[in-house]
Structure 1
Amino acid sequence: MHREARLPQNGKESLLFLLIVSIISVNTIAPVIMGLERGFSKGVYLDTLKVIPVMWVIVVLLVRLVAGPLVGRVMPKFVGKTDGFNARVLLTIVLNVTVLSILLSIIGTWVGTKHISLEPFKNFLHIWPRNFGVAFWIELLIAQPIARFAMKKLHSRQTKPELENANS
């Protein structure tokens, strides 16, 4: 079976891919959403930096324990054998961002306000589409391409010694 160089091939690479995507995502999505919520200012950005470590842990746990398994079960229902790499990546991003943005629209509000309340549920139809849009475009245009580029570079370095040995 053909192995895609732009995707992780083993557990260590999967962890590296997850770290790249999650670190980029949390450090860009959270400040943009907080800025849209409370206005773009230095003070809002500094407040965001205080919650980013907690949000990063939450995001990684949600990806590994909820979104990953759920998307893994749903993907085969939508993907055909002839669907190309880009179609699969786009669908994966849409499904992951949908699951994570729903959960994080609620959990992120609780973490940001340091208070568990019904507020995120009351405002859900207002905040979720915005959060989904921000997360989707950052994932599609920034986080995922950088992580796939890193995988491609990693795999090209791994195959160089094999090619050199084969040519010797």
Structure 2
Amino acid sequence: MHKEARLPQNAKEGIIFLLIISIISVNTIAPMIVGLERGFSKDVYLDTLKIIPFMWVIVVLLVRLVSGPIVGKVLPKFVGKTDGFNARILLNTLLNVTVLSICLSIIGTWVGTGEVNLEPFTNFFHIWPRNFGVAFWIELLIAQPIARFVMKKMHARQALPKA
């Protein structure tokens, strides 16, 4: 997958890829989960907008410091040499969303309520499956495809001869 045009090829592209996915994810997943929790209304959405910048920073840090290293170690144990791009991406997305949704089901509750308490642990098995489902499908159907499309277009543009 290293030279795959749909994936970042260097650190700069990796940052762009991460920014695209994280911005789309935080701006769709957080409002969806909060809406499911508190009801869908303009006031709930506006309240959600207040926490999105904090959640974005948390998501980026979790991806770089927690999810990335864990998935980097676990993924090779499940991926075979003959597995195709789509199989690898699906497993990578599944593992990343699992790790992040576990962490964010706890941290997101704390950020959203403005207090650190035991509530996310007592409600974990109620909220985590829902949060995982929302995050997984948004990642799989919206955020990841858009980021891969941008990478593919960037690489196609770089391959054009300079005039």
**Superposition TM-score, scaled by structure 2 size:** 0.98
Which residue matches 1:152?
A: 152
Which amino acid counterpart does residue 44 of structure 1 have in structure 2?
A: V
In structure 1, the residue matched to 2:13 is 13
How many Å separate the matches in 2 of 1:154 and 1:102?
33
> How far apart, in 2, do the equivalents of 1:4 and 1:102 lie?
29
Query: Which of the two has higher C-alpha Rg?
Result: 1
1:2 Cα shift?
6.4
Task: Give 1:140's aligned residue.
Answer: 140
Shift of 1:147: 0.1
| Corresponding residue of 1:85 | 85
Residues 1:102 and 2:117 aligned together: no
- Alignment-mate amino acid for residue 91 of structure 2: L
**Residue segments in structure 2 that go unaligned for 5+ positions in a row:** none
Report how far residue 161 of structure 1 moved.
1.7
Report the equivalent of 2:57. Answer: 57
Unaligned runs of 5+ in 1: none
Aligned to 2:72: 72
| SS class of match (1:80) | coil
What does the per-residue CA deviation read over 1:78-107, in whole Å, with 9 as the maximum and x for residues that have no partner?
000000000000000000000000000000
Please list, as runs of the form range in 1=range in 2, the aligned pairs for 1:34-53 lying within 5 A after superposition.
34-53=34-53
Q: Give the superposed CA RMSD.
A: 1.1
Q: Residue 104 of structure 1 aligns to a residue in which SS?
A: helix
Q: How many residues align?
A: 163
- Relative distance call for 1:18 and 1:2 in structure 2 (3 A) is closer
Deviation at 1:156? Answer: 0.1
Mapped to 1, the partners of 2:161 and 2:123 lie a distance apart of 55
Bigger mean CA offset, 91-100 vs 2-11: 2-11
The answer to whether the 8 A contact 2:2-2:9 is kept is no
CA distance in 2, matches of 1:146, 1:135: 15
Task: Please name the residue that 1:121 is paired with.
Answer: 121
